Each structure stands twice: as C-alpha cells, then as structure tokens.
Amino acid sequence: MSPRMTPSNPIKLFAFGPGFGLPEVSPFCTKTEVHLKMAGLPYRKEKAMPDMSPKGQLPYIEDRGRLIADSHFIRAHIEKKYGVDLDEGLSAAERAQAWAIERMLENHFNWASGYARWMIPANFEAGPAHFFDDAPAHIRDQLRKDTLAKVARRYFEVGMTRHSADEILDLGDRSLLALSALLGDKPYLMGEQPTGVDATMFGMMAGILTPFFESPLRRRAESYPNLVAYTDRMMRQYYPEHAWAPALAA
Ligand SMILES: N[C@@H](CCC(=O)N[C@@H](CS)C(=O)NCC(=O)O)C(=O)O
C-alpha cells in the first residue's frame, strides 16, 4: 500500500476539523483523512465550510491547484495519481463486498446516525448549532434555523423521517447488526490488514459512538463489543494523539 510517488507539495484537505469528541466531526472527512494516512501521503488540513467546496459538501482536496470533491472521487484520484491501491490483497469478490458495505454505511447508516446528531434537539443545540458561532450576531440564529430546516427537509425527502423514531432506531440497528456480523473477530473489516472500506466504517462508527451525543442508536452501537473494540483500534492506529473516550476502550 506504499505510494510509488509522493506529491512535492502536501495535498490540502478541506474539512470541518476536530470537535464533538472526535478528531474530525464529519464521517466523510474522516474517511478521506484516513485514506490519505493509509496511502502515506503528506497532507495539510484546513478548516472549511461546505459552501466553499466545488460540490457544496466536505471533504474536498486541492492537489497542485486541482480541486477534487467527494470522498469517493478523492480516493480514486489518490489511488490513480500516486499508484496506491487501498484494497491491495483483496479479490474481485472482496472488492465488491467492500463497495456494498461502503454504500450501506454511507447511503443508509449515515441517515440513521445523522438523525441522532441533527434531529434530536438537544444534540443539535450541543453540536451542529455551533457551526455558526463565528457568524455575525444579527444573522446567527437565523442561519441555525435555516440550516436545521434544510437538513430536516433532506431527511424527509430521503425518506428517513417518514418513519417513527423507533423505526429509525431499528433501521440503524439492522446495519449495526450486519456490520458486527461482517466484522466478526477480525481486526479489520476485510481481514488482517486495513483496506479502504475501514476508513468509511471507522468514520461512521466513531461518529455514532462519540460520548458527546446521547442517543438510543449510540446505546445500541455500544452493545456490540466488536464494533466498539474496532473503533478503538482504528482510533489508536490513525489518530494516536486523540484522547478517545476511555470507557469505550474496555
Ligand atoms: N458523497 C459525499 C458526502 C459528503 C457529505 O455528506 N458531507 C457533509 C458533511 S458530513 C456536508 O458537507 N454537508 C453539507 C451539505 O450537504 O449541505 C462524500 O462522500 O464526500
């Protein structure tokens, strides 16, 4: 997995930055950051907001003046440009499984997990509401309200908030059960070595397990010892400097 070429200038990674008990608040930015670490590529992280990105979402990177947005396309770029294969050692069928797991995490689990962060009012107040702390005082509250309304609309359009809170919890737990069974007693999702999908899995698991947000889905996640141990292992490996909640390390 070592890169054959390294960039002469560090890649710039635009992300939210640390917060909510996490080394990076966004699971997608975490995924990209871990991919860069896995690839052994030097990078510099800069704080950004989604409206600065070419696709209106974080993460995006700048590599020698070229902007690339979206965690999937960033991965594709670094693999191609720097001759890295983050799925090295996997068969075609295993690569297909890794892709399917990633889609479940990003296109299903993320909605159940994000619901806990954005749609439980106390969590919104403690967390995402603070994204606007630096906005001018006279528009700050309106920005918070508008953003929450936009996010709530999205959760409804994607279908998640057409379900009751208990049903959303069941959906999220169904993915946790699947992930726990897929991981089993292996150190990483696809076996003995970390591969690309572990970056996605880790970002999502850390995002739900952080003790910063109280939620029924977090409590369910905590009831899967292998998922808790996996998240702790990945945290120690990729963010050794981060003080991750010791209770979760048990
Ligand atoms: N498909 C994108 C998803 C990225 C994403 O959802 N980013 C969120 C932060 S976790 C964002 O920027 N949201 C702002 C918005 O959608 O307006 C990727 O893989 O990078």
Q: What is the pLDDT of residue 249?
A: 42
Q: Are residues 144 and 181 in the same domain?
A: yes
Residue 138 makes CB contacts below 8 A (sequence gap 6+) with: none
| Protein residue with its CA nearest to atom 17 in ligand 1 | 57
218 within a domain of the structure (yes/no): yes
| Residue 95 pLDDT greater than 70, yes or no | yes
Sign of CA dihedral 33, 16, 179, 104: negative
CA of 98 to the centre of ligand 1 (A): 20
Q: Where do runs of H (alpha helix) occur along the chain?
A: 27-39, 71-82, 92-104, 110-118, 121-126, 137-157, 165-183, 196-209, 216-222, 225-238
Of 58, 115, 210, the one to substitute when testing ligand 1's pocket (max ligand atoms within 8 A of C-beta) is 58
> Is 248 a residue whose pLDDT tops 90?
no
What is the number of the ligand 1 atom nearest to the C-alpha of 25? Answer: 10
Clarify whether residues 243 and 131 are in a common domain.
yes
pLDDT-derived band of residue 54, with 50, 70 and 90 as boundaries?
very high
User: Given this model, what pLDDT does residue 5 score?
Assistant: 58
Residue 178: its pLDDT value, please? 98
Ligand 1 binding site (Cβ under 6 Å of any ligand atom):
26, 28, 50, 56-59, 70-72
Exposure class string for 150-168: b at 16+ Cβ within 10 A, else e: ebeeebeeeebbeeeeeeb
Q: Which of 31, 34, 16, 222 minimizes the C-alpha distance to 116?
A: 222
Domain co-membership, 245 together with 138: yes
Determine the average pLDDT of the residues in 173-181: 98
Find the 178 Cα to ligand 1 centroid distance in Å. 24
Dist. CA 68–CA 77, nearest whole Å: 8
Question: Is 0.75 surpassed by the pTM of this model?
Answer: yes
Mean pLDDT score of the chain: 95
Do 190 and 67 have their domain in common?
no
Mention every residue, 6+ apart, whose C-beta is less than 8 A from residue 237.
Answer: 194
Task: Give the pLDDT confidence score for residue 247 in this predicted structure.
Answer: 54
Whether omega for the bond prior to residue 59 falls within 30 degrees of 0, making it cis, is: yes
Assigned domain for 2 exists: no
In total, how many domains does the chain have? 2
Return the ligand 1 atom nearest residue 26 CA: 10
Same-domain pairing of 108 and 78? no
Mutate to test the pocket of ligand 1, among 29, 34, 36, 57 (most ligand atoms within 8 A of CB): 57
Domain co-membership, 60 together with 162? no
The CATH number given to whatever domain includes residue 177 is: 1.20.1050.10
**pLDDT grade for 9, boundaries at 50, 70 and 90:** confident
100 and 71 inside one domain: no
Q: Whose CA is nearest to atom 13 of ligand 1?
A: 57
Contact 126, 211 (CB under 8 A): no
Q: Per residue in 14-23, pLDDT tens?
A: 999 999 999 9
Does residue 3 lie within any of the structural domains? no
Cα–Cα distance measured from residue 169 to residue 180, given in angstroms and rounded to the nearest whole number: 16
- Is position 4 within any domain? no
CA of 241 to the centre of ligand 1 (A): 26
Same domain? 243 vs 164: yes
For ligand 1, the distance from its centroid to the CA atom of residue 70, given in whole angstroms, is 8
- Nearest atom of ligand 1 to the alpha carbon of 69: 20
Phi/psi of residue 41, nearest 5 degrees: -95, 135
Residue 175 falls inside a structural domain: yes
CA 185–ligand 1 middle distance (angstroms): 31
| Share of residues in the chain with pLDDT > 90 (%) | 94
- Whether residue 87 is contained in a domain is answered as no
- In the prediction, which pLDDT does 245 show? 76
- Domain end, chosen from 48, 63, 82, is at 82
pLDDT of residue 2: 47
79 pLDDT higher than 70: yes
Per-residue pLDDT tens over the stretch 114-135: 999 999 999 999 999 999 999 9
| Helix or strand run (H / E) with residue 45 | strand 43-47
Q: Which domain holds residue 45?
A: 11-82
